[in-house]
C-alpha cells in the first residue's frame, strides 16, 4: 500500500476562518480502485445488465406486449433522467456490480426487488402499489461531534428513545414494504455498533444496508464484523481534502483521520464506500471539487455524494444556500465525472440536486423517506415535518401523510 501525505494548506486556511482546530498531518493510503477501468469489461457488463433486466421484465410481466410497453417507458424515463448522457460507469465490490449509490448491486435479491418496484411503477403487475426504495433510519441521538451543518442539532445527545426492539421492528416493517436500501444514520450510528450487528444479523435478504458515519468507532474489527453481519456499504462524511478544514467543520481534531481510516477499513473489509461532502459556499469552487475527487480516487471509493447545505438544524436561519453559479458548477462537476471519457475510472458522483431541480423531489415517501430518532416519519433528513410514526399505527397511513405534506422545496418527482 503506497501512502502520500495531505498537508494542510496554510494560506487557504487563514483566509477562511481564524483559530483552526489543531491538526497533525494524516497519511492517506492509495487503495485499489473499485470503479472499473476496462472498456471491454464495461461493455460486457452493459450487455449483461440488459439481459438480466430483460429476464426480470419477462419474469414479472409475463406478456410480450407488456414487456414492450415497459421497455419503451423505461427508455423514456432514462432520457428524462439522464438527457443525452449515457451512464457507463460501474463499481465492483465483493463480487457485486453497482451503477449508482441509490440502487442495490447486482447480483442480489435487493437488486431483483428494486427492478420489480421500478417495473411495477411503469406497468403495474402486483397489487402492492408501493414505490418506496430507500429509508434513512436515524437510530441514535448520540454523537461525539458538533458539525457546522448538523440537521439533527436539536435532538443531538438528548435521551435515547429507540430501543433495540424498536430497531428490529422498524427494519422488519420496511422490509415488509420491500424497501431495498436502508441507511442507518443518527447521530452517529457507530455508537450503537453492537445493536447494529444484531439488527443486521436478524434482517431478511432483499435489502442492502448502509451506515452513514463520520468514521467514529469504525475500527478494522468493527468493519469486518459489520460486513460479516450483512452490511453492504458505508457512507463516510468527509467535507474537505484539507484535514484542518474538515476537522473544524466537524468540531473534532480527529475527524479527518477517523474518516480516512474508516474508508480504508471499509475497503479492506469488502464494503462499498461512498464519500459524502457538504458542498458549502466556501467549499464550492472548481479547484476544491477536483482536489476532493482526486482524494476520493486515491482512496479507491465507488461513490462521491454532493450534499447541498440547507438552513435546518445547526444551520437554521442562516443564509447557506449556494449561488446559481455554484449549483451550475456542481452540475458541470457531476457531468464531468460521470460522463467524460477522461474520468471514466474516477468515482461515480451522486448529486441529487441536479435531478431535483430538473424533475422534482422523489422523497416524501415516493422513493425515499426519513425516520427520525423517535421513530417519526419525515419527507427527508433536510425537510422535516413529523407525519406520523413508523413504530405504531398504520405505516401506510403515515406514509400517505408524508406524501400529503410533500417536500417543502420541490414539487413531487415527475418520473
Residues that bind ligand SF4 (CB under 6 A): 143, 145-147, 150, 152, 186-188, 214
* CB of 117 or CB of 350, closer to ligand SF4: 350
* CB of 70 or CB of 147, closer to ligand SF4: 147
Q: Are 205 and 149 in contact (CB under 8 A)?
A: no
* CB of 66 or CB of 246, closer to ligand SF4: 246
Nearest approach in angstroms of CB 313 to ligand SF4 is 7
**Residue 205: exposed, middle, or buried by beta-carbon count in 10 A (0-12, 13-18, 19+)?**
exposed
Nearest approach in angstroms of CB 229 to ligand SF4 is 22
Nearest approach in angstroms of CB 150 to ligand SF4 is 3
* CB of 246 or CB of 355, closer to ligand SF4: 246
* CB of 110 or CB of 147, closer to ligand SF4: 147
* CB of 188 or CB of 376, closer to ligand SF4: 188
Nearest approach in angstroms of CB 274 to ligand SF4 is 15
* CB of 152 or CB of 372, closer to ligand SF4: 152
Three-class DSSP category at 33: coil
Nearest approach in angstroms of CB 345 to ligand SF4 is 30
Containing 303, the helix (H) or strand (E) segment is strand 303-307
Going through 18-112 in order, the beta strands assigned E by DSSP cover 26-29, 91-93, 96-98
Q: Are 169 and 387 in contact (CB under 8 A)?
A: no
- Cell numbers at 259, concatenated: 474518516
Residue 214: name the closest of 149, 269, 288 by CA. Answer: 149
Q: Which residues pair with 209 in a beta bridge?
A: 182, 231
Measured distance CA(285)–CA(16) in Å, rounded: 13
Nearest approach in angstroms of CB 406 to ligand SF4 is 25
Nearest approach in angstroms of CB 375 to ligand SF4 is 17
Residue 200: name the closest of 262, 271, 122, 116 by CA. Answer: 271
Nearest approach in angstroms of CB 252 to ligand SF4 is 9
DSSP 90-135: -EEETTEEES-TTS--BSSHHHHHHHHHHHHHHS--SS------EE
Residue 92: name the closest of 43, 36, 142, 44 by CA. Answer: 36
**Residue 173: exposed, middle, or buried by beta-carbon count in 10 A (0-12, 13-18, 19+)?**
middle
Nearest approach in angstroms of CB 140 to ligand SF4 is 9
* CB of 96 or CB of 246, closer to ligand SF4: 246
Q: Are 121 and 131 in contact (CB under 8 A)?
A: yes
Distances (CA, A) of 87 to 43, 98, 100, 367: 12, 12, 10, 21
Measured distance CA(403)–CA(397) in Å, rounded: 10
* CB of 108 or CB of 258, closer to ligand SF4: 258
Measured distance CA(281)–CA(377) in Å, rounded: 30
- DSSP annotation of 35 reads B
Largest CA distance in the chain: 67
- Cell numbers at 75, concatenated: 427508455
Nearest approach in angstroms of CB 188 to ligand SF4 is 5
* CB of 33 or CB of 187, closer to ligand SF4: 187
Amino acid at each position: 500500500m503506497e501512502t502520500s501525505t495531505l498537508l494542510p494548506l496554510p494560506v487557504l486556511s487563514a483566509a477562511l476562518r481564524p483559530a483552526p482546530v489543531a491538526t497533525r498531518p494524516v497519511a492517506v493510503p492509495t487503495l485499489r480502485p473499485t470503479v472499473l477501468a476496462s472498456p471491454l469489461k464495461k461493455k460486457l457488463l452493459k450487455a449483461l445488465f440488459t439481459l438480466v433486466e430483460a429476464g426480470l421484465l419477462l419474469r414479472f410481466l409475463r406478456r410480450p406486449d407488456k414487456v414492450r410497453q415497459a421497455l419503451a417507458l423505461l427508455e423514456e424515463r432514462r432520457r428524462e433522467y439522464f438527457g443525452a448522457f449515457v451512464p457507463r460507469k460501474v463499481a465492483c465490490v465483493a463480487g457485486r456490480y453497482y451503477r449508482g449509490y441509490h440502487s442495490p448491486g447486482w447480483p442480489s435479491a435487493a437488486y431483483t426487488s428494486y427492478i420489480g418496484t421500478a417495473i411495477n411503477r411503469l406497468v403495474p403487475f402486483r397489487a402492492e402499489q408501493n414505490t418506496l426504495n430507500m429509508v434513512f433510519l436515524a437510530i441514535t441521538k448520540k454523537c461525539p461531534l458538533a458539525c457546522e451543518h448538523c440537521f439533527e442539532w436539536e435532538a443531538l445527545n438528548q435521551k435515547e428513545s429507540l430501543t433495540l426492539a424498536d430497531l428490529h421492528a422498524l427494519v422488519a416493517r420496511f422490509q415488509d414494504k420491500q424497501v431495498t436500501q436502508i441507511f442507518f444514520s443518527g447521530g452517529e450510528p457507530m455508537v450503537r455498533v453492537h445493536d447494529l450487528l444484531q439488527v443486521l444479523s436478524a434482517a431478511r435478504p432483499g435489502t442492502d444496508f448502509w451506515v452513514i458515519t463520520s468514521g467514529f468507532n469504525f475500527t478494522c474489527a468493527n468493519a469486518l464484523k459489520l460486513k460479516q453481519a450483512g452490511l453492504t456499504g458505508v457512507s463516510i462524511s468527509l467535507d474537505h481534502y484539507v484535514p484542518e478544514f474538515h476537522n473544524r467543520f466537524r468540531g473534532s481534531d480527529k475527524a479527518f483521520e477517523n474518516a480516512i481510516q474508516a474508508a480504508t477499513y471499509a475497503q479492506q473489509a469488502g464494503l462499498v464506500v461512498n464519500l459524502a461532502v457538504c458542498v458549502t459556499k466556501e467549499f464550492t469552487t472548481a479547484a476544491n471539487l477536483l482536489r476532493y475527487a482526486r482524494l476520493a480516487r486515491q482512496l479507491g471509493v465507488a461513490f462521491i455524494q454532493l450534499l447541498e447545505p440547507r438552513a435546518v438544524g445547526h444551520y437554521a436561519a442562516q443564509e447557506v444556500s449556494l449561488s446559481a453559479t455554484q449549483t451550475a458548477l456542481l452540475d458541470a462537476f457531476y457531468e464531468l465525472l460521470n460522463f467524460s471519457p477522461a474520468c471514466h475510472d474516477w468515482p461515480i458522483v451522486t448529486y441529487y440536486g441536479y435531478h431535483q431541480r430538473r424533475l422534482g423531489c422523489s422523497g416524501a415517501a415516493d422513493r425515499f423517506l426519513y425516520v427520525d430518532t423517535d421513530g417519526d416519519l419525515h419527507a427527508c433528513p433536510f425537510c422535516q415535518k413529523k407525519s406520523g410514526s413508523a413504530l405504531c399505527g398504520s405505516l401506510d397511513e403515515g406514509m400517505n401523510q408524508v406524501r400529503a405534506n410533500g417536500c417543502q422545496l420541490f414539487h413531487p418527482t415527475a418520473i
